[in-house]
Amino acid sequence: MTGGKEKNRFFMEIASGIVVSMLIVFITIYMPLMGFFMATILPMPILYFRLKLGRNLGALIMFAVFVMTFAATYNFSGMNGGLSEITSNSLPKAGGLSLSIDILFYGSLLLTGFFLGEFLELRLSIEKSFVYTLISTLGISAAAFFVYAASTGQGVLSIVSGYVADNLQLTLALYDNMGMSPENIQLISDSIHAIQYILVRIIPALVTILLSFVIWVNILFIKKILDKKAIHLTELQNLNQWKAQEHLVWVVIALGLLMVIPGKGIKIVAFNCIMILMIMYFFQGIAILAFIFERKKLPILLKIAIYSIIAIQQILILAIIGLGFFDTWVNFRKIGINNKPDEQSFDG
């Protein structure tokens, strides 16, 4: 009897993980305005059930969600309808299938949750868990994309350029529907080839930044969930005291010097690397804010309002990056300097 109850419990846990994950996927498809936020938390169910149920059942949930997402974002040639027709873009057909680029996007998010659970369970430092998850997910996703490009006989640059061009055209159409003035639309249209050229060449940085942000958000969320269940991983404590390795500052400075060296190739590589490192200093800047907010005991609604303003004001994002960057020298939180016993831990 006990064994039957145990099997039913596991079945319900697995079903819950699949249902929650697929609900998020369908919201991203049918409700584009909420799509980015929901996509950001898609790794969360996989991460949570990976930590709760273990590797095998966590992998089972991830695989089941991937297969169902595959069905939702693909359609066989010759068939009408299907969810893939309402998704944003598709890559060229191969072997009778219309390959939606969304499947690579969703697959990467599912892998992110699984790998993050793997490395957190190994009780690695938060930096190692973050970096290993980032490298593992990017590595598998990049390999899958290159294999697809090779199977279609197309160049990677050609596929990426086409995808970026399609999205720029969709953006112009969106601006037009929103009532933007014809003069501004024409100005953007005239610059669209230059914008496409730049975006294609900073795709590595943009993808890395997006995935880094997703990992960071899910680390924060899983910490809150585990805390509520009285599960405390020491690796997730005191996140608002986190800071990047000090030597990274000199790497940024060196990359900045490379930007003045003649040669487009060198500048593109250096700029991509600088953008990737800047996300680290953004995280450090946010940690400083969280530290200050906790010190001042600000109400939760006020903190949410401040974070929301930062999210929609690009100039404030740059200010947060600067805060994290100069913390290397200024040490705004005075970490390691005259810390009293009751001031050493602040969870933000």
Mean pLDDT of 335-345: 52
Q: Give yes or no for residue 344 having a pLDDT over 80.
A: no
Q: Note the pTM of the prediction, 2 decimals.
A: 0.81
* Reported confidence tier of residue 2, pLDDT bands at 50, 70, 90: low
| Residue with the two structure tokens 């501004």 | 184
Q: Give yes or no for residue 13 having a pLDDT over 50.
A: yes
5-19, 111-125, 301-315 — which one is most confidently predicted on average? 111-125
CA 23, 24, 29, 32 torsion-angle sign:
positive
Are residues 42 and 17 in contact, defined by beta-carbon separation less than 8 angstroms? no
Range with lowest mean pLDDT among 85-89, 128-132, 255-259: 85-89
Range with lowest mean pLDDT among 137-141, 222-226, 249-253: 222-226
pLDDT tens digits, 141-178:
999 888 888 877 777 888 888 888 887 887 787 777 77
Phi/psi zone of residue 341: left (φ > 0), alpha (ψ -120 to 50 degrees), beta?
alpha
* Reported confidence tier of residue 97, pLDDT bands at 50, 70, 90: very low
**Domain limits, the chain:** 1-237, 239-348
* Reported confidence tier of residue 100, pLDDT bands at 50, 70, 90: low
Q: Give yes or no for residue 138 having a pLDDT over 90.
A: yes
Pick 122 or 152 by higher pLDDT: 122
pLDDT tens digits, 237-252:
788 888 888 889 999 9
pLDDT tens digits, 20-68:
999 999 888 887 667 778 889 999 999 999 988 889 999 999 999 999 9
* Reported confidence tier of residue 236, pLDDT bands at 50, 70, 90: confident
3-17, 97-111, 131-145, 234-248 — which one is most confidently predicted on average? 131-145
| Residue with the two structure tokens 């060229």 | 92
pLDDT tens digits, 277-322:
999 999 999 999 999 998 888 888 888 888 888 888 878 999 999 9
The single-letter code of the amino acid at 261 is: I
Which of 202, 217, 168, 208 has the alpha carbon at shortest distance from 39? 217
Pick 328 or 1 by higher pLDDT: 328
